[in-house]
Amino acid sequence: MALGPRLELRVGQQLVLTPQLQQAIQLLAMTNLELEAWLQSEVDKNPLLEVESDTPEGGPAGPPQTPQSD
pLDDT in tens, 31-42: 999 999 999 999
- Angstrom CA distances, 51 to 28, 33, 34, 39, stand at 20, 16, 16, 9
SS3 25: helix
How much of the chain, in percent, has pLDDT values that exceed 90? 51
pLDDT of amino acid 29: 96
Q: What does the domain layout of the chain look like in residue ranges?
A: 19-48
Q: From CA 35, how far away is CA 29, in angstroms rounded?
A: 9
Contact 30, 38 (CB under 8 A): yes
Over residues 28-56, mean pLDDT? 90
2 or 45: whose pLDDT is higher? 45
Look up the pTM and report it.
Answer: 0.52
